[in-house]
Amino acid sequence: MTWTTACATAELEPLWGETVLLDGHQIALIKISDDELYAVGNQDPHTGAFVMARGIVGSRGDVPTIASPLHKEVYDLRTGAGLSHPDLRIESYPSRVVDGMVEVHLP
């Protein structure tokens, strides 16, 4: 696995997703705050559509979540686990900020 630069953190709005294409992976970057950033697969596992970056960002207790904009299935942003439907999950990628740039750890 390698760290790949995605974009500058200044390009991301809090609680709003942006999509990047990194080495053939469509990834939704979700910035919760300056200290909290997640990288998940942009593909909705229920429909196959690449729409997760336009999902609804929220939480369930202490768990940061994103809901599909199509059928509202909810996923844990930290792990990609399906919270509405445990048999569904989205890809989850480690991410970090280095010198103001978002980096994603790709397989």
Edge-to-edge strands, sheet with 17-22: 17-22, 25-33, 36-41, 92-93
Range list of β-strands (E), the chain: 2-8, 17-22, 25-33, 36-41, 56-60, 63-67, 74-76, 92-93, 95-98, 101-106
What is residue 35's predicted lDDT score, i.e. its pLDDT? 86
Q: How many domains does the chain have?
A: 1
Q: Answer yes or no: is 77 within a domain.
A: yes
What's the predicted TM-score (pTM) here? 0.94
Which of the residues in the chain have pLDDT under 70? Answer: 1
**Domain containing 54 — which CATH number?**
2.102.10.10
Which has the closest alpha carbon to 57: 68, 70, 41, 71?
68
Domain extent for 27: 2-100
Q: Answer yes or no: is 105 within a domain.
A: no
Q: Answer yes or no: is 82 within a domain.
A: yes
